[in-house]
Amino acid sequence: MSAPTTVCTTIQFSVPPTNSAPPFFNLNADADGTRKQNYFLETKEVHVENIRGRESELTLDSEGFRFFQTTSVMTEGFEDDEKVKSTYYDDCERTLKEITGASRIVLFDHTIHKTRQNVADEDSSKRQPVTIAHVDQTPRSPRSSSSTPSLLEKRYQIINLWRPITNPALDWPLALCDFRSVNVERDMIAVALVYDDREPGETYNVRYSEKHRWVYVRGMEIDKGVLIKCFDSIKDGSVATMTPHTGFCDPTTPTDAPYRHSIEVRALVFYD
């Protein structure tokens, strides 16, 4: 039996503070393990379209994301950060250059996501899938402006390279929001990320809108991935500048499906 073309599920969205204070999330946990924030979350029912078979129709500059077939030589050992950096980063750089035509790629971060029951996210490199609609970077994020000034005179982007590892992503798959359905001024909520040991960061959370178009590829295989645009220096409205995304509970996932295991690599992408 073929998979349904659309599933009905829920996604968590954000609501700004009622007192108009700047939203923040403190990543430094209290003694009881809680992390303080001053914004609210709400769960909304949404429809997520399964676009399997039509992946090639979507582009970075239109919808804000692009699916690809990976040619990675690395198939195991993703828990070894040094191996990821010495081997997998080269694969990611090659993929990004081939797809975007960029002249320079700077990979600056990666995260392993793995569904685990009753386990806290104590290790920032081995986290549970994110279940809140978000964009990893904003124009004010340190990574958006930390490069050589001459590189910032031309077009540059921040793009995440996401793919499942170990097994197909049936459990908590990745939902992506078509940028053309997003009202950036209304829907995007800049949230300051507070750390003890480094300067604050900033991410976008997402306000719910009935106009959003959410899509996914059910059971994405380990030899496939998706480029997710988080920032683009072109601001004239001609291209997508970001992609809200989140993990979500697919009601069609088999009860015996293996837990999701994925890697997300973040890159600065520069053009001549």
Query: How does DSSP assign 115-126, residue by residue?
Result: --TT----STTE
Residue 217 CB neighbour total at 10 angstroms: 21
Q: Tell me the two tokens of residue 164.
A: 């499942």
Please count the CA atoms within 13 angstroms of the CA of 142 that sit on its side-chain side: 9
pLDDT of amino acid 76 = 84
pLDDT computed for residue 121 by the predictor: 44
What residues of the chain score a pLDDT lower than 70? 1-4, 31, 116-128, 142-148
pLDDT value at position 32?
Answer: 73
Given CA atoms 213, 245, 182, 13 in this order, what sign does their dihedral have?
positive
Count helices and strands (H / E) in the chain.
Answer: 3, 15
- 8 Å CB contact between 70 and 25: no
pLDDT at 130: 87
pLDDT at 16: 96
Helix (H, G, I), strand (E, B) or coil at 96: helix
